[in-house]
Amino acid sequence: MLTTTVRSARPEDAERIVALVNKVAEEDRSLGVDHFPLTADAQAQFAASADPLIHLMLVAFDGDDLAGYLYASRGTTESLVHVSSMAIVVDKSRRRQGVGQALIAAMRNWAQVVGVRKLTLSVLATNTPGRALFERSGYEVESVRRGQYSIDGQDVDELLMACWIGAGGSSDA
Ligand SMILES: CC(C)(COP(=O)(O)OP(=O)(O)OC[C@H]1O[C@@H](n2cnc3c(N)ncnc32)[C@H](O)[C@@H]1OP(=O)(O)O)[C@@H](O)C(=O)NCCC(=O)NCCS
């Protein structure tokens, strides 16, 4: 049975995080990214210095093995500080065992502690596992960007999804 431990990422996790995200990006075209945006050194520096009120880096371990990674960040202006966005990957060999849900639950705890009220994310319309996880976690589609991605010569819609913590939402002018 999978025993998942979720904790904040440390500088020494950097190489494994970069390797996991790059592996998933290569395996899974519906992720929508080609590779992790930072080198392992830059990720280690980021983990050591990022403001935890703004940035959240979570790792999920199964024993000594990195099973999943979630990155979230919130707005830094007064008008956007209540909003965060996130991205998540789980190792292919560890899927459908609750790792994604455990990472999202930990992110929600962080959001409540720091005062984020609106959780957002972007997911490709073709990403069935991602959409299922997010819908199950309370996210709803807010808008669609038609053909925002071109994957292997096919235009693919991007869904912008959101989940409110507590009361919130728009007010008509
Ligand atoms: C999307 C992803 C993070 C899900 O992680 P996971 O650890 O497998 O998710 P969980 O085990 O916590 O799944 C929780 C629930 O989500 C839904 N779900 C997850 N994967 C699913 C799938 N392939 N098909 C249908 N429903 C799925 C189910 O309701 C599942 O509960 P259940 O297993 O009891 O039925 C993982 O598939 C992944 O890393 N995909 C590639 C990266 C990616 O697409 N990231 C999202 C874009 S930011």
Query: How do residues 128-161 score in pLDDT, each as one tens digit?
Result: 999 999 999 999 999 999 999 999 899 999 999 9
Provide the whole-model pTM. 0.96
Task: Judge whether 172 lies within some domain.
Answer: no
Give CA–CA dist 12/43, Å, rounded.
9
Residue with CA at minimum distance from ligand 1 atom 46: 130
- Between the CA of 108 and the centroid of ligand 1 the distance, in Å, is 17
- Between the CA of 52 and the centroid of ligand 1 the distance, in Å, is 26
Task: Judge whether 169 lies within some domain.
Answer: no
Give CA–CA dist 163/60, Å, rounded.
22
Task: Judge whether 19 lies within some domain.
Answer: yes
- What are phi and psi for residue 2, nearest 5 degrees? -80, 125
Average pLDDT over residues 81-95: 97
Considering its fold, how many domains does the chain have in total?
A: 1
| The dihedral sign for the CA sequence 19, 21, 112, 52 | positive
CATH classification at residue 92: 3.40.630.30
Task: Judge whether 173 lies within some domain.
Answer: no
Task: Judge whether 147 lies within some domain.
Answer: yes
